[in-house]
Structure formats: structure tokens, C-alpha cells
């Protein structure tokens, strides 16, 4: 039944409203698409004719660098002291085929692979600890761990020559901090500024990146027995440059004496990724609270596999240390002197 109004304009409005409602109802579910319907025979032919590109392209045979000298030179600017960068190419190619390039997600969501857990177990077995947490990046690993455990109310003591990631972690923690110049200087600082009612953290590098010196853990443990503090040991370079198990076993120290132990695959292993190894309680705490672990995409499967294969290798330290000693003996300069230790592959001049 239609109801007509006395006013002519009202009738026109009524008709227009009815038309609008009709158009909305009729065309609201209609979606315009540009899909072209291709016959199945053509689709099958396209699939059969498709040839994927190779995952790894071979390097060109042409030489782009002209030789100006006939002598052989040694590359002294690389962390790859064990020549690992050209190993395991076949295994890495197979891993890319199985797992793809990246995980596209953090470990706590959908970014954990079976390879990640395999690597964590491998590290735990080699370093003889309870558990290990794997990080996607060594730089964020260090500063995320420091800021995860230390807060505004704590005090951090750090070496003056520490690497940039440690400095970033101290900045993020917003803790009160003191800079020290060696273990003896650290003891003097403790005598004057130590606060027993506050948590105290001492950060040390197993092998100093900027000085090439090895931390004397025996002296540090003696100081720890005198003053109650927690040790954060960064072994990013000392594993595997000094030893495959780091300086803890080099000094024959009980692993329980080290509260927080950090390692890296970015230097001596020429890969990527970092890790924390220690007690299960601290590992579980990081999996819930460490910003880099919670919010960053996990380590790609191909790099994880490469790290596992590198850990299976046996490194020849005798040959390496002979070369280091030979360099120390033959180095002569009137302006510079070597300040790094004689077993350190990182040689620093001053």
C-alpha cells in the first residue's frame, strides 16, 4: 500500500528514499573484481613451463681487482680467524629450501624452529650450564640482557674500554654506574662507593674488543668473595677466539660463580645471533621479560644451522697462537706498541 502526501515535494522525497534503499539492498554485496577466468589447460601449461630461479647464484669468473704486487698478503681486518665464512654452503642451501629465509616472528609466538632448540641444547652441553636462551642479534642481545636484570635502583660497574653494546645496555637500565680501569682499580672503587644494601653488577668482557686483553677471572672471583656482587660476563669474542668454551674453563672456574654469561656468533663464528647461558630460572625470566627476545623476530633457520655446524668443528688453537706470537716478535715500531695480550687474536696498537 502506498501513502501519498498532500504536499508534492514530500511525494518526490518519498520516492527518492525508496529508490536509494532499493539500490543499497541490491548492490551492497556486489564486489567488483578484475579476476580473469583462465581455462584449466592454460593454467596447467603455465605451471609446467615455470622454472624457478636458483637460490644461490654463482660468482662471476671475471676479476675486478687488478694485481699491482706479486706478493701474498694476509687479511688482518677480519674476525674470521678460523676461515669459516666459506664453509657449509651446501647445508645452508638445503636449510633455505626447508625453512625459508626468515621466521617472520618472535620466539614466543610462531618464530621458534626445531633448529633453535637444537642450538640452545648444543650450547648448554658445550658450556656445561642448565639452559640457554638464543637471541637473533648479538648487539641487541647484550644490551637487552643488561637492561632486563639491572634497574634504576641498582649499581653497575663497567670497564672503561667496554664495547658499544654494553654502553647501550647501561644507558637503557638507567642504573647508577661507575667506570673502572682494571680489577685493582675496581677494588678501590668498592672500598669507597660500595653499597651492600643495593644490588651491584660488575660487567666484564672475556676478551676486550677495544683492548684485546683477557679478564683475569681468578682475581675477580676473589673480589666477589670479599664484596657481594653479580658478575655479567660478555664472552662475545672469547668464544671461540680464546677457547671454544670461553675463559671460564680457561681459568678453571666453576660455572656457578658466573651469574650472567653472554656469547655471540657474530665475531669468531662469522654469523649472527647471541645467547645467554646459565640457570633455568634466569632463562625463563628472559623469555618473558627481555625486550629483544619478546619483540624481535627470531634467528633465521639458515644462520641457526650454520652456527650448529660451526660448534661441531674442532678449532686448532696451537697454530693460531704461534702466528700471534710470531706477529708480536716481528712487530717493530718507534711510534706504536702492542697493548693486547699475547694469546689474543685481536691485536691492538697504542
38 pLDDT higher than 90: no
Q: Are residues 112 and 186 in the same domain?
A: yes
pLDDT band at 13 (very low <50, low <70, confident <90, very high): confident
Q: Are residues 327 and 298 in the same domain?
A: no
Q: Are residues 247 and 142 in the same domain?
A: yes
Our count of domains for the chain comes to 2
Q: Report the predicted TM-score, pTM, of the whole model to 2 decimal places.
A: 0.79
Structural domain contains residue 16: no
pLDDT, position 164: 94
Structural domain contains residue 82: no
CA distance 197 to 78: 45
| CA geometry: angle 100, 262, 99, nearest 5 deg | 10
pLDDT, position 1: 43
- Which structural domain, as residue segments, surrounds residue 285? 89-311
Structural domain contains residue 175: yes
Judged on CB neighbours under 10 Å (0-12, 13-18, 19+), 59 is exposed
Query: Looking at per-residue confidence, does 35 or 208 come out higher?
Result: 208
- CA distances in angstroms from 246 to 103, 205, 209, 310, listed in the order given: 29, 11, 15, 15
Structural domain contains residue 72: no
Q: Are residues 232 and 303 in the same domain?
A: yes
Please compute the mean of the pLDDT values over residues 104-114 and round it to a whole number.
90
Lowest-pLDDT range of 115-119, 155-159, 248-252, 265-269: 248-252
Structural domain contains residue 235: yes
Which of these, 272, 269, 255, lies nearest to 125 by C-alpha position?
A: 255
pLDDT band at 33 (very low <50, low <70, confident <90, very high): low
pLDDT in tens, 157-193: 999 999 999 999 999 999 999 999 999 999 999 999 9
CA distance 149 to 285: 9
pLDDT band at 29 (very low <50, low <70, confident <90, very high): low
pLDDT in tens, 56-75: 777 666 655 666 777 777 77
Q: Are residues 106 and 126 in the same domain?
A: yes
pLDDT, position 130: 95
Q: Are residues 101 and 141 in the same domain?
A: yes
Q: Are residues 181 and 202 in the same domain?
A: yes
Q: Are residues 349 and 247 in the same domain?
A: no
Structural domain contains residue 290: yes
Q: Are residues 118 and 261 in the same domain?
A: yes
Q: What percent of the chain has pLDDT over 70?
A: 93
Q: Are residues 199 and 306 in the same domain?
A: yes
pLDDT, position 290: 93
CA distance 172 to 192: 25
348 pLDDT higher than 50: yes
Q: Are residues 184 and 214 in the same domain?
A: yes
Q: Which residue has the cell 676473589?
A: 222
Structural domain contains residue 26: no
pLDDT in tens, 288-337: 999 999 999 999 999 999 999 999 999 989 999 999 999 999 988 888 99
Phi/psi at 116 (nearest 5 deg)?
-60, -45
Please compute the mean of the pLDDT values over residues 79-103 and round it to a whole number.
92
CATH number of the domain that residue 190 is part of: 3.40.640.10
When the pLDDT of each residue in the chain is averaged and rounded to a whole number, the result is: 89
254 pLDDT higher than 60: yes
pLDDT, position 150: 95
Q: Are residues 200 and 286 in the same domain?
A: yes
Amino acid at each position: 500500500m502506498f501513502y501519498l502526501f498532500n504536499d508534492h515535494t514530500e511525494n518526490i522525497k518519498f520516492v527518492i528514499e525508496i529508490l536509494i534503499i532499493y539500490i543499497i539492498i541490491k548492490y551492497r554485496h556486489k564486489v567488483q573484481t578484475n579476476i580473469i577466468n583462465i581455462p584449466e589447460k592454460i593454467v596447467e601449461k603455465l605451471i609446467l613451463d615455470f622454472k624457478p630461479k636458483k637460490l644461490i647464484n654463482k660468482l662471476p669468473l671475471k676479476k675486478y681487482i687488478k694485481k699491482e704486487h706479486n706478493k701474498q698478503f694476509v687479511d688482518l681486518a677480519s674476525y674470521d680467524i678460523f676461515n669459516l665464512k666459506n664453509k657449509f654452503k651446501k647445508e645452508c642451501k638445503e636449510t633455505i629450501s626447508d625453512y625459508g629465509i626468515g621466521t617472520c616472528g618472535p620466539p614466543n609466538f610462531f618464530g621458534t624452529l626445531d633448529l633453535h632448540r637444537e642450538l640452545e641444547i648444543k650450547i648448554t652441553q658445550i658450556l656445561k650450564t642448565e639452559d640457554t636462551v638464543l637471541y637473533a642479534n648479538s648487539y641487541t642481545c647484550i644490551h637487552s640482557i643488561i637492561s632486563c636484570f639491572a634497574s634504576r635502583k641498582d649499581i653497575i660497574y663497567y670497564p672503561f674500554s667496554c664495547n658499544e653494546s654494553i654502553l647501550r645496555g647501561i644507558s637503557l637500565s638507567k642504573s647508577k654506574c661507575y667506570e673502572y680501569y682494571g680489577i685493582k682499580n675496581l677494588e678501590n672503587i668498592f672500598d669507597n662507593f660500595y653499597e651492600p644494601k643495593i644490588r651491584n653488577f660488575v660487567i666484564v668482557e672475556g676478551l676486550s674488543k677495544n683492548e684485546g686483553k683477557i679478564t683475569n677471572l681468578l682475581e675477580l672471583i676473589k673480589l666477589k668473595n670479599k664484596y657481594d656482587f653479580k658478575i655479567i660476563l660478555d664472552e662475545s669474542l672469547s668464544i671461540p677466539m680464546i677457547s671454544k668454551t670461553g675463559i671460564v674453563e680457561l681459568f678453571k672456574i666453576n660455572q656457578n660463580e658466573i651469574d650472567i654469561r653472554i656469547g655471540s656468533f657474530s665475531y669468531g663464528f662469522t654469523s649472527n645471533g647471541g645467547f645467554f647461558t646459565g640457570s633455568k630460572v634466569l632463562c625463563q625470566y628472559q623469555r618473558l621479560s627481555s625486550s629483544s627476545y619478546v619483540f624481535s623476530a627470531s634467528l633465521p633457520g639458515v644462520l641457526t644451522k650454520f652456527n650448529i655446524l660451526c660448534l661441531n668443528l674442532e678449532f686448532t688453537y696451537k697454530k693460531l697462537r704461534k702466528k700471534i706470537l710470531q706477529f708480536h716478535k716481528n712487530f717493530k715500531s718507534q711510534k706504536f706498541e702492542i697493548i693486547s695480550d699475547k694469546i689474543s687474536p685481536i691485536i691492538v696498537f697504542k
